[in-house]
Structure 1
Amino acid sequence: MENLTTYPKKRLSIIIEEPFLNRLLDILDTLDVPGYTALPAVAGKGKSGSWRRDALSSNVGGMVQVLVVLDLEKVPGVLQAVRSVLDRQIGIVSLSDVEVLRPELF
């Protein structure tokens, strides 16, 4: 197997209520984040108990996860902006180290 070179980046995971998704994505766009992926969260359990997407009558209580991979130097500005959205609603943010194959995409 070929020895592939990987490059360090940061992975930001943001779980937020679905009605606030567009606001979050607009903020990420203004920060020149290179890309993101939004995925529906189908179930979860936390401080307020368990929930399942299929038991909700609308998307109001639904959650989505936004994944962002970016350079370390962009992290403080992005976290500060994300915090401004999450200070007023439910949300979880985690940051982790990742390795990517094509650094020019991030």
Structure 2
Amino acid sequence: MQTHTAKRVEIIIEAVMEERLTAALRKAGVTGFTVMPVLGGSGRSGQWTQEGEIGRARGMVNVACIIRPDRLDTLLDAAFEVVDRHIGVVSVVDCEVLRAERF
């Protein structure tokens, strides 16, 4: 079976910023993403859980999308506009997909 190169981008951000982030992604031409709740974790500020250790944020979400490599910079520019002023982590990894036409 033939696979095609793609990029998987994951953006972990405060839940209250989810709508602003997904709107920015759609405006940048991203047609698909998945939003998942983040139950807790540990970072620069120590360990936290969704029960309120982040203050008013109601926890965090992970917005994941898979895109063609040539669209990566546009997505990252849109994501950075939102993440820059808020708690957030953006990661990019290479991946392979079976149906390139979906991305």
TM-score by length of structure 1 reads 0.90
Residue 74 (1) aligns with residue 71 (2) = yes
- What residue identity is the alignment partner of 2:52? L
Unaligned runs of 5+ in 1: none
Q: Which residue identity does 1:43 align to in structure 2?
A: G
Query: Any idea what SS the aligned residue of 1:98 has?
Result: strand
Residue in structure 1 matching 2:38, options 38, 41, 44: 41
Per the alignment, residue 52 of structure 2 pairs with 56
- Counterpart of 1:19, as a letter, is V
Q: Report deviation, 1:32.
A: 1.4
Indicate conservation of the 8 Å contact 1:34/1:105, yes or no.
no
% same residue = 38
Cα root mean square deviation, aligned = 1.5
Displacement of 1:59 in angstroms is: 6.4
Give the corresponding residue for 1:91. Answer: 88
Separation (CA, whole Å) in 1 of partners of 2:61 and 2:23: 15
Q: Provide the TM-score with structure 2 as the length reference.
A: 0.92
**How many residue pairs get matched?**
102
The aligned amino acid for 1:99 is E
Moved over 2 A (4+): 55-59
TM-fit CA distance, 1:56: 2.2
Query: Which segments of 5 or more consecutive residues in structure 2 lack a partner in the other structure?
Result: none
